[in-house]
A and B are shown apart, each in its own frame.
Chain A
Amino acid sequence: RKEVEQDPGPFNVPEGATVAFNCTYSNSASQSFFWYRQDCRKEPKLLMSVYSSGNEDGRFTAQLNRASQYISLLIRDSKLSDSATYLCAVYNDYKLSFGAGTTVTVRA
């Protein structure tokens, strides 16, 4: 089983829509969780860290469910500029492991 698994999508949504997707991880001892954004095979950049209590950054909300071992990302009021691949990342045993990414396309 892969350490980190994501729904690959693609999610194709209209502007203004809400889109949400999950990422599951296999190691219950995982310590830290992140969402990264990657545009067109450029380098990934941190979108947000994911905290146990859940956290929000503008239109983006991240949740962590340790019992079920998944993290989620919700994007509200989608913009064209949100079109990208979203990678979840999990830190454990001093390694940072990534999922394969979820592709989101926002259409006008």
Chain B
Amino acid sequence: DADVTQTPRNRITKTGKRIMLECSQTKGHDRMYWYRQDPGLGLRLIYYSFDVKDINKGEISDGYSVSRQAQAKFSLSLESAIPNQTALYFCATAEGGNYGTEAFFGQGTRLTVV
């Protein structure tokens, strides 16, 4: 089994619908991240969390919300999906500490909003 698991792997949803993307990890890492990837724009940070009580906005948090239900689980919600949220979404985890360490990614969720 993958250390970082994202569900669903693919999803097509309609404009205005609420959708939740889930991420779970077995690495025991404190830090978890949500990114979206669009062609030519690379990975852009949506939200990140250092522990269950610590949630931080990234560079493109508008239209998204997150929940850190446990150390191992970090969910991303689109409250009212719109077509420009069509993208590839990645969850990532990393150890804590003052200096960054290797981030481990889930396999991604390909989301299409029609």
Contact = CB atoms under 8 A, between A and B. Distances in A.
Given A32-B100, A43-B106, A100-B42, A94 B35 contact: no
A37 to B, nearest CB: 11
A1 interface: no
B11 to A, nearest CB: 16
Chain B, interface size category, equals 20 to 34
Contacts of A89: 100, 103
Chain A, interface size category, equals 20 to 34
Contacts of A94: 31, 48, 50, 56
B102 interface: yes
A100 to B, nearest CB: 3
Nearest to B44: A98
Interface of B: 31, 33, 35, 37, 40-45, 48, 50, 56, 58-59, 88, 90, 92, 94, 98-103, 105-108
Q: Which of A41, A87, A89, A100 has the most CB of B within 10 A?
A: A100
B7 to A, nearest CB: 14
A41 B43 CA distance: 11
A94 B30 CA distance: 12
A41 B88 contact: yes
A60 interface: no
Contacts of A99: 42
Contact of B99 (A31, A42, A44, A101): A31
A3 B105 CA distance: 21
A95 B41 CA distance: 17
B5 to A, nearest CB: 11
B108 A42 contact: yes
